[in-house]
A and B are shown apart, each in its own frame.
Chain A
Amino acid sequence: MSVATNSSEAAAYTSKDLVTDQEVRWCPGCGDYSILKQVQTVVPELGIPREDIVFISGIGCSSRFPYYMETFGMHSIHGRAAAIVSGLKSVRPELSVWMVSGDGDSLSIGGNHFIHLLRRNFDVNLLLFNNEIYGLTKGQYSPTSEEGKVTKSTPMGSVDHPFNPIALALGADGTFVARSMDRDPVHLKEMLRRSNAHKGTSFLEIYQNCNVFNDGAFEVFTEKSSKKEETLFVEHGKPLVFGQNSDKGVKLDGFKPVVVDLNDGQNSANDLWIHDERDRVKAGILSRFFDRAQPGATHFPRPFGVFYVEDRACYETGLKAQIETAKSKKADLDALLKGRETWVIG
C-alpha cells in the first residue's frame, strides 16, 4: 500500500515510540520477534503520522502483533482480518492499514477473504507470517505444511497437498507479490518498504521459524552453509544468479527454466533470465520454484524478493469516485422521505 509522506513533524517518532506497555508474549526464540523489530524500525521512516496507522490481525501467534504496536489496532477473529480491513479501507481510504496474519489464518480459515482482498486490491499491506504449522493450537499441520508432515493431528504423516502462497496470490490477481524471511533483517526491511510504497494490496509472505513446533523449517534458506545454494534473491532488471560464489544462474529455454553453471564456459550472465517484476508470465514460472530437493529432479533455489507488481485501481478509489459522482445530485432527505407519489388527507 502507499500512503503519501506527510510533513516532517508527522514522522517525528522513533521505533521506541511504537513499543506498547504490553509484555511481548511470543515464545523465546520465535521468529515473530525479528519481524516486529523490523516493522518497528521501518514504520518511523515512512513519514506517516502514528495516529493514521492501523494494524489489524486475525487469530494465531502472528495475530498478537497489534498489541505490540503503539498505533491503532485490532486483534479480531480467526481468518477475518482481511474482511475487516476491507470495511475500514472502504470508509477511511486515507489510513495506513497493515494486516498481520499467518498461514492458518489467511490460507485456511480465512482463505476466502484472502483471495477477495487481493482481487479487490484494497490499498493495504498484508504481512503473512508463514511458519508452516499451527503454533497457537500447539502443533497441528497447516495448509502450507509439506506432504507427509508428521504432527499431532497427522501421526502417519499429512496427506494434504500444501498451498504455494505466492502462486495463490498471483492466481487471485494480487498486484504486489513478494517473499522475505525473519532471519534476513536487511531484506525484510527492504520488502516492508516496497510493500508500503505499492498502491494496492501488497502481499508479503514472510518465512518465520516456529522454534517450538516446526523448528528449522526454513533452515536451508537461512543457514550460512546452505543459504547461497538454496536461495535466489531476485531484483528487477538483474539476472537470476545464485550459488556459493554467485556461480549459478537460471535461464529460460522457452518457458522452461534451466539451472546453468556460469563457470562451465558455455553460459554467461548475459544469457540469464533477467528479472522483470512486471511480467506476469515470468512471475508465474518463478512462483513454481517451490520444490524440495528430490533425488533426480531438477532442483531450483527458493526465490525471495518481489515476484510481481502491477498498477491497478484500488476498490476504495472506485467506491469513493462513485460517491463523489453521485453527490452531484443533491442529497435531499425530505425528497427521499416523500418519494415519488403522495396524497393528502384532511
Chain B
Amino acid sequence: MAEQQQVLERVIIKFAGDSGDGMQLTGTQFTNTAALLGNDLSTFPDFPAEIRAPQGTIPGVSGYQLHFGSVNIFTPGDACDVLVVMNAAALKANLRNLQKGGTIIANTDGFDPKNLRLANYPDGVNPLHDGSLEGFRLITMDVTKMTRAALSDSGLGVKEIDRAKNMFVLGFLYWMYNRDMAHTEKFLVEKFSKKPEILEANMKVLKAGYNFGETSETVGVRYRVLPAPMPAGTYRNIMGNQATAIGLVAASQKCGLDLFLGSYPITPASDILHELSKYKNFGVHTYQAEDEIAAICAVIGAAFGGKLAITTSSGPGIALKGEAMGLGIMLELPMVIINVQRGGPSTGLPTKTEQSDLFQAMYGRNGEAPMPVIAAKSPADCFDTIYEACRIAVEFMTPVMFLSDGYIANGSEPWRFPQSGDLTAFKGNFITESNGDKFLPYKRDEKLSRPWAIPGTKGLEHRIGGLEKQHETGNISYDPENHEFMVRMREAKVAKVADYIPTQTIDNGNEKGKLLVVGWGSTYGAIKAAVKEARAKGLDVSHAHLRYINPFPKNLGELLYNFDKVLVPEMNTGQLNSILRDKFMIPSIGLNKIKGLPFSTSEILAKIEELSK
C-alpha cells in the first residue's frame, strides 16, 4: 500500500493510561523530540490525586497532553486530536475531551473483561467493538502481546517486560508523526546505563513499535509537523516549577547572596524544593521544616542573617504562614513567599489548578499588611517573574508574594533561555559599618526602604520586633499618631514599587478600542490564543496581561479607560475583577471558571464574540 504523507499545522495528543503505565514518560519523550525538531509546543500533565489508585480504575488514570505545531502554540490545547489509551478506564476518562473525528489509539489488552469491569462498563460491553466509537478513527493494537513477543527471548520476567509497553506506543507514534528516535534512544542509554538488559529491552520495543507502524497496514497515513517560526535563538524545554527554581538560583547569584529555602512539602509546590536541593554547589541552603509556619519563620531568621530567603507553598500552607508574613512586613526584611496555587478551599483539589488565592495574597493577613504581589503567566515566565520578585524584595526590604499555579507549575514550553550576562544584577540595602551616630534601623531611603544591618556588623547592634515601632528608631511605640504614620508609611513603601516597575503594555491589539481582555497568571495562553483568533475574525479586541498586581503599573487605569468594555477571565469567582472595580471603578465583566481546569481558548473566544455583538 502506498504510504501517504500529510502535513499538519498542529496536533494535540493526549497520552492516557494507568498511573503505572508510564504515560508521563512517554509524553515527555515525545515532547522533547518535538522540541528538538523545532516545533512550538505546550504541555500539561494530568496526574491522579491518589499516589497509586487501584490499577485499571478511573481514579488511577494518568494523562499527559501535548500540543505541538509549526505555528505558535499558546496552550496545551482544548479537545485533543489523538487520544492514546492504554486501558478502558483511560478511554472512559478522556473520551469527552476528544475532537469529533479524532483518532483513538487503543491497547486492546487493556480492554479485557477485567479492565472493562474496573472501568465500570456494563457486562458484555466493549466500546472497541460495540460501535459506540463510530465517528472517531479507531486504531487498535495489542501492545502487551507485541511487547511480550518482541522480548520473548530476553530472559526478563513478565513484569519487567510489561513495563516496556509504553516504548511500543512511543515508537508507533514516532513512526506516525515521522519523528526521529535518536533523542529517546540517547535518553534510554543514559537512564539504563547500569542495567544493560533493561536498556536493550526498551530499545527493542521502541523499534518494534516503529516497525509495527511501518509494516502493518493499520494506518495508511503518516503526518509531518514542520518547525515553527520562532524567534531565532537557542531553546530548551522548561516546566514552571523548574523555571521558578532556576530563577531563584539566578537571582541569588546576581545579587551575590546565598539562597535559603525554608519549605514544607505540599502539592503542587514541592518540586521547587526538590529542584533547589540539587543546587547546593550554588550555595543554596534548603531546609525542610517541621511545618509551614516553621518554614517561613526559618526564612525570617535567614533574612535577618542577610540571605536571600524564600519559602514555597500552596494555598493551605500560605494560610498557615499568615501571621509570620505579617511579622516579615513589620520587620521589613526581604523574603519571597511562593504560592503555587491549587483548587481550594481547605484541602480542596490538590492536583488541580485554580487562581483563587489572589485575595489571600492581597489581604490574607491581620492588620494593615500590604505586600507586593506578582504573578507568572506561563512556565517559562516563572523565571523572569521570580527574578523580579527577588529584586523587589531585596531593594525594598519587603516580603513579596509570587503567584504561580498547578497549571504552569507542571506545564512546559520551549524557553529561549538567557545568558547569565544578560540578567540585570541587583543588590541589597546593606549597611556595613557604623558612622558613629546612633543607628536608626528604620530610617528610609528614596525608595522608603530601610537599611539591612545584619548580625556581625560592629556598632549596628539593634532590636526589631512585631510590636509597632517608632519611625526611624524602631523602638516600641504605642503613640497613636506614630501608629497611623507607620501604617501609611508601610503602605506608601509598597505603592512606591510602582515607580520601579515597567508600565503596563498591550500584549496584542490596539491601545484603544471596544474590548480589552485583562488577565493575570496562567490564563495567558488561552487568552492570547482567543484574542488572536477573534482579531483574525475582525473583532476589535485587545489583550493586556498583568504581572504586577500590587502595586499595579502606574498607567493601568488610563489603559483600562481607553476601552468601552473590559473582560476579566479568571479561574476563580472574580477576584482580580473585584480589585479592578475597587481600584478603578470600572464596570469590568468577569468570565469565571472554577472547575479545577484551565480555560479553553474556545470558552474565552465565545465570550469575546458575545461581548462584541
* A342-B305 contact, Cβ under 8 Å, with A90-B287, A333-B249, A336-B249: no
Residue A112 lies at the interface, judged by CB distance under 8 Å to chain B: yes
Residues of B within 8 A of A82 (CB): 294
Is the pair A112, B417 in contact by a Cβ cutoff of 8 Å?
Answer: no
Residue B230 lies at the interface, judged by CB distance under 8 Å to chain A: yes
Residues of A within 8 A of B280 (CB): 322-323, 325-327
Is the pair B455, A51 in contact by a Cβ cutoff of 8 Å?
Answer: yes
Residue A278 lies at the interface, judged by CB distance under 8 Å to chain B: no
Is the pair B458, A49 in contact by a Cβ cutoff of 8 Å?
Answer: yes
Question: SS class of chain B's interface: helix, strand, loop or mixed?
Answer: mixed
Residues of A within 8 A of B282 (CB): 331, 333, 336
Residue A341 lies at the interface, judged by CB distance under 8 Å to chain B: yes
Is the pair B291, A112 in contact by a Cβ cutoff of 8 Å?
Answer: yes
Is the pair B466, A333 in contact by a Cβ cutoff of 8 Å?
Answer: no
The minimal Cβ–Cβ distance linking B29 to chain A, given in whole angstroms, is: 12
Which of B32-40, B339-347, B352-360, B575-583 participates in binding chain A?
Answer: B32-40
Task: Give a binary string over B224-239; 1 marks a CB under 8 Å from any A CB, 0 the rest.
Answer: 0001001111111110
The minimal Cβ–Cβ distance linking B475 to chain A, given in whole angstroms, is: 7
Residues of A within 8 A of B458 (CB): 49, 51
The answer, among A87, A326, A339, for a CB contact under 8 Å with B287, is A87
Residue A237 lies at the interface, judged by CB distance under 8 Å to chain B: no
Residue B290 lies at the interface, judged by CB distance under 8 Å to chain A: yes
Is the pair B463, A87 in contact by a Cβ cutoff of 8 Å?
Answer: no
| In the complex, chain A residues 99-139 whose Cβ is within 8 Å of any chain B Cβ | 112-113, 116
Q: How far is the CA of A338 from the CA of B467 in the complex (A)?
A: 46
Residues of A within 8 A of B305 (CB): 87-88, 91-92, 95
Residue B150 lies at the interface, judged by CB distance under 8 Å to chain A: no
Is the pair B324, A80 in contact by a Cβ cutoff of 8 Å?
Answer: yes
Residue A72 lies at the interface, judged by CB distance under 8 Å to chain B: yes
Residue B327 lies at the interface, judged by CB distance under 8 Å to chain A: yes
* A52-B466 contact, Cβ under 8 Å, with A87-B297, A345-B230: no
| In the complex, chain A residues 189-239 whose Cβ is within 8 Å of any chain B Cβ | none
Is the pair B253, A116 in contact by a Cβ cutoff of 8 Å?
Answer: no
Task: Give a binary string over B285-327; 1 marks a CB under 8 Å from any A CB, 0 the rest.
Answer: 1010111011101111110111101000000000000011011
Residue A177 lies at the interface, judged by CB distance under 8 Å to chain B: no
Residue A66 lies at the interface, judged by CB distance under 8 Å to chain B: yes
Is the pair B304, A74 in contact by a Cβ cutoff of 8 Å?
Answer: yes
* A84-B300 contact, Cβ under 8 Å, with A54-B455, A342-B236, A345-B38: yes
Residues of A within 8 A of B419 (CB): 334, 337
Is the pair B463, A52 in contact by a Cβ cutoff of 8 Å?
Answer: no
Residues of A within 8 A of B461 (CB): 50-51, 70-73
Q: How far is the CA of A42 from the CA of B354 in the complex (A)?
A: 55
Is the pair A333, B250 in contact by a Cβ cutoff of 8 Å?
Answer: yes
Is the pair A84, B281 in contact by a Cβ cutoff of 8 Å?
Answer: no
Task: Give a binary string over B445-466; 1 marks a CB under 8 Å from any A CB, 0 the rest.
Answer: 0000000000111111111111
| In the complex, chain B residues 218-257 whose Cβ is within 8 Å of any chain A Cβ | 227, 230-238, 246, 249-250, 253
Residues of A within 8 A of B426 (CB): none
Is the pair A66, B463 in contact by a Cβ cutoff of 8 Å?
Answer: yes
Q: How far is the CA of A210 from the CA of B36 in the complex (A)?
A: 72
Is the pair A336, B298 in contact by a Cβ cutoff of 8 Å?
Answer: no
Closest-by-CB residue of B relative to A50 is B461
Closest-by-CB residue of B relative to A120 is B290
Q: How far is the CA of A80 from the CA of B293 in the complex (A)?
A: 8
Residues of B within 8 A of A346 (CB): 230-233
Residues of B within 8 A of A330 (CB): 281
Residue B135 lies at the interface, judged by CB distance under 8 Å to chain A: no
Residue B283 lies at the interface, judged by CB distance under 8 Å to chain A: yes
Closest-by-CB residue of B relative to A116 is B290
Residue B348 lies at the interface, judged by CB distance under 8 Å to chain A: no
Is the pair A86, B465 in contact by a Cβ cutoff of 8 Å?
Answer: no
Known: A76-B300, A319-B285. 4 other contacts (CB 8 A): A69-B463, A88-B305, A326-B281, A345-B233
13 residue pairs bridging A and B, Cβ less than 8 Å apart: A51-B456, A74-B464, A75-B463, A77-B324, A83-B289, A86-B289, A86-B297, A319-B285, A327-B281, A327-B283, A334-B419, A334-B420, A339-B237
